Every structure is written in structure tokens, then in C-alpha cells.
Structure 1
């Protein structure tokens, strides 16, 4: 079988990226419709309802059975193995088309679907911990120093800016709002531009950021060319030395 050319590889990669973006849009639309349904039908439980023992409004099962979490699979007894497999089979039958993960409440063996079943509400202690965590964060102005801007190419071919923390080596979000289309679009490709904000905290203009990125790329390319030229000169000198040795021996 003939090997693919570099151009053919690029074309195939582009098709895969486009197909993935379209799938992401479909999944995003599906989840937004579900969230809207939860909002309309008041599917999420309040903390008071959860404490009172109200069942899950997604699947109708109890939020918790208070039987304790399942032991590790290797430590299940024969009876527990049968119970576990039976519960697992029932879950798969109930959620065949959900294409989602599952969750449980600590200390319970009831399994809920991440698509059908809203997660349990946060309690007062959890909210208090989160409030303390948020309060310990650096100020918004300080956090700006660690943010980079990216260019996202969407399925509609429009390019939109996206800002995230500098430690992220790739853009994890798969769907964003396209201001030109007015629709949610899947991300086909992404490219880091550089710092999103200036030192004074104002957002960096796209043109200036692009110029800085191009300047960095140009400097890197020039440095690479210099190294290659030095290597070529050293190789040329070695060739001359070998030719001279060969000539003297003859």
C-alpha cells in the first residue's frame, strides 16, 4: 500500500477535525436542551428536598440508599459480585442512549446518569468551603498576568479569540459562541497568540499580539537558520579537509 503524502495526511487530519467539531456541536446542543428542560420542569433538587429524602427527578431512584459504597471489585464477595453485575446491567438498560458517565453519592450504591440525573445539590458546608477558596484567590488584576489569548478556528471558518490560563497547553473547550454566526460552533483548530493583557491590565489588541507572536516566530526561525548555517560551514570544512587528505595520499 502506497504511503500517504504530507498533503494527503493534512487533508485527512482536517476532515477528522471538522467531523469532531460537528460532533461537539451536536453534543453541546443536546446538553443545552437538557439543561433547559431541567429548568422548565424544576428537575434539580434543593438542599432541603435532598435532605428530606426526595428521589432523583431524572430517573426516579433514591439519591442514596445508605448501604455504603461498593467495595473494590477485587474484594467483592460472590453475592456482592452478582448484585453489582445486576445493578450494572439495569443501569445500562435504563441509559442505553445517554452516552454519558455515571455518578454516585458517597456511602451509596445507587448509580445515577450524568446526562439524565441532575447532580446532588451542594450543602452549606460545601458552599462555605468554596467561598473560602474563592476568597483566597489572587485579585482579578493579578490573575490577568497569567492569561494567554488563543485564536480558535471554528467549523464556520470564523476565527474568534479565547482567553485561558497560561499553564494550559491546549484549548480544552470544544464549542464556543461565534459572534458572526450567532450560533454555537465547534472548534476545529487553535493557536496560542500570547499574553491576553498588557502590564497595565488592559486587554492587548489582537493586531499587536499577532505582531509580537510573528516577531517571536521570526526570531526563532532566524536562530535556527544561524545554527544550520554553522553546521553547514563545519560540514563543508570537513569535506575540504577530507579532499585534501585524499589528494595528498594519491
Structure 2
């Protein structure tokens, strides 16, 4: 069992939720960059199954093979032989001719020269062993007391709540600086303001610590004023509406 004790002052706090919402040029620049990166790796073509891949079926996006019949050894261009240089340059020309306007990343399989477009061609499927290793690395599903709740204001203006593992103490490590908006569907949405607000649940067996107070002489309880009571009622009504909405 993992004992989780957190101090919210150790977590990044960005912006001011009480201030008027206003986008800056920096926010717009970061949003455009996030959209560019997302678009560069977005592929609407479904990948092959592992069985189809090992059977030698070609890429469902471009129709070319993932694994070339003629093997290719990846090494620095300065070490190419004349024949290797001709093959490499011909593949570069082919790729730019077909995918020069895609503005996407490229990928290929080890031992093969044929390059595939990140926008048009799905990546090769993971092997069963790779999936098993990833599952081992990611570990068991995280427990509620290991998840930190974050309050985020996004590029679209919506204020939402997201969760991340409590060990991520910056917005970049928790959400890579952007996330998707559950309100309007904007994806990616740059995080404009953010703050950690507490664990999803208290760790099991950990009682809330109440700081010790120095002894004081007992004083008579002060009767709240009418204005204070009305303010408390408004606060409770707002909390009820928030709970209904969630």
C-alpha cells in the first residue's frame, strides 16, 4: 500500500482564477503549436492487426510494404556507399512527392528503408510482448488516493476539473501543457490557468491532522450577523448547484 501525503504548496499554480479571462499572444502561439503537433500525428486510417502485419500485408494507408524485401541498415549518411546513396535519395524524392504537403512526422520499420507518413499511414501494430511490457511498466490502475485533482482554465475559456497522478507536480508533467475540453470538445486545449486542489480521496487509514493550538481562555460564542448568515446561505446554494451539475 502506498502512503500518500501531499502538500499543495509544492504543486505549480498558474494564473489567477479570480482575474478576468484574457488570452495573450503567448497562449495563442502555444495553442497553434499544440494543434500543429496534434495534426502531425493524427491518422484516420485504422492500423493492421498483428496477425496481418506479420503475414506481410502492406500499409493500409499508402499500400507500400512496412518491411522491405531488400534489407536496409540505418547508419549515418556520410557512411553510405554509392548504391546506398542512390536508394536513399530515391526514397526521399518519392516521399516528398507524395507526402510533401502533409506536414507530418514520418516513420519506418527497423531494417527497411520505405518511409511512411504519420498523417496518411498508421504505425505498425504493437506485438503481444510489447503490449505485455507496456502493461508491466504502466502497472496497476491508480487508486483514487493516488490521483490529484486539478482545476484548469482552458484556451476556450471553460473551467474544468482533471486528474493526474499525485507525483506530477507541474502542469506540463501532468497534462503536457494541454488537454481536451469536456465542455466544448476543443482538443487540444492549452491550459491557461491551473491549480492543484486536493486528492480524489484521502489515503486509507490516514486521518486529517489538526494542528495543535495553544490553550486559550474560553470566550463566549459570537452570534453571526444577518449579513453573514445570508452570505452563508448563498454559499450553500452555490455548492448545491455545483453538485447537481457534476
TM range (shorter): 0.5 to 0.7
What SS class does the counterpart of residue 88 from structure 1 fall into? helix
The answer on 1:64 being equivalent to 2:30 is no
Distance 2:40 2:29 in 1: 17
Q: Which residues of 2 match residues 172-191 of structure 1 at below 5 A?
A: 172=176, 174-179=178-183, 181=184, 183-184=186-187, 186-191=189-194
Q: Which residues of 2 match residues 10-89 of structure 1 at below 5 A?
A: 14-21=24-31, 24=34, 34-35=43-44, 38=45, 43-66=46-69, 67-89=71-93
Over the aligned positions, Cα root-mean-square deviation in angstroms equals 3.2
After superposition, the Cα gap between the structure-2 partners of 1:182 and 1:47, relative to the gap in structure 1 and judged at 3 Å, is: closer
Does the 8 Å contact 2:148/2:163 carry over to 1? yes
Q: Which has the higher contact order (CA 8 A, sep 6+)?
A: 2
CA deviation map 1:152-174 (0-9, x unaligned) = 22232111122223335323153
Distance 1:164 1:187 in 2: 16
TM-score (norm 2): 0.59
- Larger Rg: 1 or 2? 1
After superposition, the Cα gap between the structure-2 partners of 1:163 and 1:139, relative to the gap in structure 1 and judged at 3 Å, is: closer
Distance 1:199 1:104 in 2: 46
Does the 8 Å contact 1:18/1:188 carry over to 2? no
Gaps of 5+ in 2: 1-21, 205-246
Q: Report the count of equivalent residues.
A: 178
After superposition, the Cα gap between the structure-2 partners of 1:151 and 1:73, relative to the gap in structure 1 and judged at 3 Å, is: farther
Does the 8 Å contact 2:154/2:189 carry over to 1? yes
CA deviation map 1:145-198 (0-9, x unaligned) = 3x433332223211112222333532315341232x355462241423244334
| Structure richer in helix, relative to its length | 1
Which residue number corresponds to residue 124 of structure 2?
Answer: 120
Gaps of 5+ in 1: 1-11, 202-250
Distance 1:25 1:89 in 2: 27
Does the 8 Å contact 2:40/2:104 carry over to 1? no
Which residue number corresponds to residue 167 of structure 1?
Answer: 168
After superposition, the Cα gap between the structure-2 partners of 1:114 and 1:26, relative to the gap in structure 1 and judged at 3 Å, is: closer
